[in-house]
Structure 1
Amino acid sequence: MTLRRWIITVFMCLLVLVGLGSIKFFQIKEAIAMGESFPEPSATVQAVRASAAEFRQQLHVSGELTAPQQLELRTELGGKIQKLNLPSGGEVSEDQILLQLDVSEEQARLRAAKASARLSKLTLDRNKKLRKQNRVSAESLDQAEADYQTRLAEIAAQEAVINKKTIRAPFSGRVGLHTLEEGQYLNPNTLITQLIGNNDYIWVDFSVPQDFPALDANSNIEVKLANQETLNATLMASDAEVDSRSRQLRYRARIDIPQGSKLNSNSIVEVHLNAGQTRAAVWVPDVSISRDQFANYVYVLQPEPGTDNYRAERVRIELGPRQDDGFMLSEGLTEGTMISSIGTFKLRQGLKVYVQETTVQESAAQNAGVQGGAQ
């Protein structure tokens, strides 16, 4: 009796399990059929074709304008300012006396030295006449000659001190600002002001990485000023060695100052450099490039046979220099390959794609409009 009950119980359980399994089977089958009736996931994007272009390796670096003639005017000796002819921020001419320190003591010593020199000269001339008559010894004549030369040296020493206390402009130019006044005492090696020469050209110094191709002497480069004005410069020379700290090589170029322009020394400018030979490359717009932490990619749109649809294929690329609103590619694509542009962010590998083909110019313009609206 007990065995019969167990058999009936097991049979009923199996019957329930089969019933539930059948119900679930038909539910899954119905869901699969419903899923197959849905259209395949797809995305609509705009597309362009990779275009051929030529480029040279470019580099933009910061440069500094340097005046060919510039120096710091300093006092060599100390003293009180007796005369000041130094217009603050004004123009001066070559050999103009800018500052005169008090030299009254030196002038008195100079007059005394000249008087002693005149006396020594008379004594020397007298001894020369007496020596011809053998009335003085050769030693006395030599002593008179040495005494006279000593007096001349004293005159030269006093004149040198006076000249050192007279500050003159070594060349024509413009002086900087100062706060000096007559009667003010200046210590030795006191900075008076800066003097910048009047030249119709100016230098621009800049540095480039050591692995950048060497620049040819007398080659032309572009210099962009702070006011966005662009000037041409001629490369003059390079430093003898690479800087040991920055590992960069320093260059100097010459800018001929245009009529009516004013370029100030120590101003920062932007230097545009080209190097190497022109090379053929493929250009793609920036909007076509997708990026992750590993590499850069574009989506190539492969046509499906017998349809107007495409399949997205992710292709890894190597970016070259930037140009306009896109990049030059050193490898990864060939000219004429269709790639996605606007809407690239919607794509993934193998996705069905509907495309609206546009020109490169249209894509760049639309990309600029999207960026402008975001701003």
Structure 2
Amino acid sequence: MSPKKRKVHKEDDSSDQDDAFDAIMALHSASSSQTSSGATTSDVTAATSSQSSTSSRGKRKSGSLEENARKNSKNAENHTLKQRKEQKKAAKAAAVEKNKMYKPGECMKYMQIEVHPSLSSAWYMADLAREATQAGCRVTPATDLCDRSLIMWTRLLQPTIDVNGAQCGLITKERCDRALYVLVADDVAERVAGRDLSQHVATVRDMSACRLTLVVFGAADYFKSSGRKTQNSSRKLMTDIELEMAIADVLVSAGCDTARVETPNELALLVVQFTKAIAETPYKQAKRSLDEQAEFYMRGDNKKCVRVDPNGNGLSGLWQQMVAILPNSSLETSRALCAEYKSPLDLYEKLLSGGVPALAELAVKRAEVAGARARRLGPEFARKMNTLLTARDGNVLIE
């Protein structure tokens, strides 16, 4: 081979080597670029996954907080409802106790008769403690009365108050606005002779700030003659007529009632009678105010009533009485009608279906005797019953 050809061949080999080197470098750069790109993608994926886990953790945390808040609010509502129920229960118990305090038969247990010790030790007051105990009330000494001859009343109250969430009972007293002023006949005679009985009673009334009733004790014994004629036996500071005039003056001028008693037992019964009237006054006033709100009064019309228990026993007797009290009716008529029709609804349905003629043919026995002849109910009474049960106008007259 010539030198020229060898040179050309060397140049071709060198160019082939350069091309192979360039190809190898290109492959290396491509692989390195792929490696770097793969690392970058993994980093991005890891970052994305960490962000998603952080956000999911935050969502779980916020969800748990909301759930706790709902639980707390629900617990607070339950606690509030429980407190309201307890308050309603306490209020109901207090209302029951208060009603018992004013209920007839129970109200006397809450009454106290206040008497000054000097008056309670008098001989004519000896029967008061016994009669008061039998009536259910009690006598208590009171030294703060403005006059020693006064008899006053107080009512025991039992309100409930809430102290730091606990119900506490506090017994208090309520003084009533009535009072008795007890004077023996000798003291009354001195006031009548001095012509100041009315003024004295008015003064005591103003000091006590109550409606006052003057009680004159032993007037009959005062005017009774002893049978012995002495120089002082006929000397009386007042006469019976003067006493009556003085009592009338007290009634008109002082506006106070009067009562005359002759024995210790009469005085004790008078005090107990006043005690019972004062104890039942709130209940009677509430009852009267309730009656005044109604358009008609039925409380007094309670004679020959038929008792009906919660189970319905007694309805047949009530239905029979309703028929018996109608005009032109009788016991035999009501018995026959109620035996055939067990209730007003049965009679009403019969009148709607059969009318007056069917009801008029009902047989009514004249007497509860075997073989007694029966008579018809009659069209007149049947027509009245039809008008009573089927009329839609309440102003229709039943003739």
Higher relative contact order (CA 8 A, sep 6+): 1
TM-score, normalising length: structure 1: 0.23
TM-score (normalised: structure 2)? 0.22
Q: Which is greater in Rg? A: 2
Which is strand-richer, 1 or 2? 1
